[in-house]
A and B are shown apart, each in its own frame.
Chain A
């Protein structure tokens, strides 16, 4: 049971334009594991996770999800995806509940919500401590709160596998702690997690294995590397608080 691969990549190559971004990646995530994908900017870590969920065309290699070739994989309710925060902004106001509800669609028939679906949405909001903001517009949230909403959206379908792209980027300390606690809860419930991280930070104790990418190749696959240099200083928590709430430009919806 514990050795069953949930994600398996072998020899995966991908190009953006003509530039190779992944140059033959092997990566296996087994059931119940928490794997961090680390690397510098441009090392291919985001491309790697986006290839797993089929958002980047792969030029060579095999990708399997739950033992099924990804091309034929249809059971997407088992996968919860948390994109980088920038991708989720519509031109019309939407409440926290409305956004999180769209994560539940995979578990509904033709998008008809029953009582259990509404309950699942409420629970997901509870898990990330955003139940009190359920009826607020997502535009009124801080970066960290917005990230919590996106995680709740992924959790609403009760997925077995969570894939997160830089969940800690631009997130305030309080939200980082909530996120770490949410993740700990998911892991204790048996979830499998693959996350892209800039550095391990507050999630370090949760992580079973780290895969470091360099120039589109796997440079390290094993126990999480120890922080070195200034990053290892006690008290260095490396928050990136430079994404203030309300930094988004005003949108009137008049221009596409």
Chain B
């Protein structure tokens, strides 16, 4: 495999695998709590971090992590305290984040918006040694949280009120989810880019659900899809000289469409199997009690 002879491709592929694992692993909780677009918002906020990184000549990856974590914490606080005007506050945060990114990068010495585009849409050749170190550390944190606390995060994302009554630290877990999503955005931004990160959090989960009945299976299949498309997209991008982020996202959507087409006959077969397993079904469910019918006739 000549593709592995190049150090930059080794780095890019390693980063791609980690993105493929972490993005759906966080995304599944966001989808579960119906905040599928949160990753997109964090991606916008992270732009300010990238801009600040250029301006202060710090690592854009670490700076983006810092700013997007602050943004995610702010979003959680808005969710707690602002009941009605929350969406306006979030809109300002997202667009402010984007505008801040463009502004800071233009103020940076020798910087222009062209520097930003590799962060917006992903770029393989720019994944540096230090980026890989950062991505590995951040990905380890994301996996630790999303796998280690899966039961707690599942409970909170499934039914927040019930989770509070079982004594789970719901605020802490919500905050942790938001922070983990923000960290994932930084992990993914080098490969898929800030504007496309959210697709990799949401679409593999949506694709996996076409086939699954359980959360555990959805998690596993979403991660499998994530890793397949990030590796496939990275390799395609290398050979065909097309942008990696766009390739990965289009592949993911392709997987979604393919699995959706597969799901319909599978569901039919499952229904048939279920009907065969329970002859006669569950007659009690539909029965109208005789006494009630009599009562209705009296009323009429």
Interface, chain A (partner B; CB < 8 A)? 53-55, 74-77, 79, 81, 83, 87-88, 90-95, 98-99, 101-103, 105-106, 108, 111, 113, 135-137, 140, 142, 144, 153, 157, 172-174, 230, 233-237, 239, 252-256
**A-B contact number at CB 8 A:** 142
B168 close to A (CB within 8 Å)? yes
B215 close to A (CB within 8 Å)? yes
Q: Which 4 A-B pairs have the closest CB atoms?
A: A76-B167, A235-B291, A174-B284, A102-B155
User: Given the complex, which residues of A lie within 8 Å of B167, measured CB to CB?
Assistant: 74-77, 106
A102: contacting residue among B28, B158, B164, CB under 8 A: B158
A85–B284 Cα distance when bound, in Å, is: 21
User: Given the complex, which residues of B lie within 8 Å of A144, measured CB to CB?
Assistant: 285
User: Given the complex, which residues of B lie within 8 Å of A101, measured CB to CB?
Assistant: 151
A230 to chain B, nearest CB (A): 8
Asked if residues B216 and A256 are in contact (CB atoms below 8 Å), the reply is no
A111–B182 Cα distance when bound, in Å, is: 24
Asked if residues B166 and A105 are in contact (CB atoms below 8 Å), the reply is yes
**Beta-carbon nearest neighbor of B156 in chain A:** A102
User: At the interface, is chain A mostly helix, strand, loop or mixed?
Assistant: loop
**Beta-carbon nearest neighbor of B83 in chain A:** A17
A54: contacting residue among B28, B33, B164, B298, CB under 8 A: B164
Asked if residues A92 and B162 are in contact (CB atoms below 8 Å), the reply is no
A83–B291 Cα distance when bound, in Å, is: 30
- Show 22 A/B contacts (Cβ-Cβ < 8 Å), sorted by A: A55-B161, A75-B167, A77-B166, A88-B158, A91-B33, A92-B28, A92-B218, A93-B209, A93-B215, A94-B158, A94-B215, A98-B215, A99-B158, A105-B151, A105-B168, A135-B214, A136-B213, A137-B214, A153-B162, A172-B285, A253-B36, A255-B37
Asked if residues A81 and B162 are in contact (CB atoms below 8 Å), the reply is yes
Asked if residues B295 and A95 are in contact (CB atoms below 8 Å), the reply is no
A118–B92 Cα distance when bound, in Å, is: 46
Beyond A90-B158, A102-B154, A235-B291, whether A253 also contacts B202 by CB under 8 A is yes
**Beta-carbon nearest neighbor of B203 in chain A:** A254
Asked if residues A235 and B155 are in contact (CB atoms below 8 Å), the reply is no
Asked if residues A253 and B292 are in contact (CB atoms below 8 Å), the reply is no
| Given A87-B162, A94-B154, A254-B36, 6 more pairs with CB closer than 8 A | A55-B161, A93-B209, A102-B162, A105-B168, A174-B284, A237-B291
B165 close to A (CB within 8 Å)? yes
User: Given the complex, which residues of B lie within 8 Å of A90, measured CB to CB?
Assistant: 32-33, 157-159
**Hey, what's the 0/1 contact readout for B196-233 against A, CB within 8 Å counting as 1?**
00000010011001001111101000000000000000
User: Given the complex, which residues of B lie within 8 Å of A54, measured CB to CB?
Assistant: 164-165
B179 to chain A, nearest CB (A): 18
User: Given the complex, which residues of A lie within 8 Å of B168, measured CB to CB?
Assistant: 105-106
**Beta-carbon nearest neighbor of B290 in chain A:** A235
A49 to chain B, nearest CB (A): 11
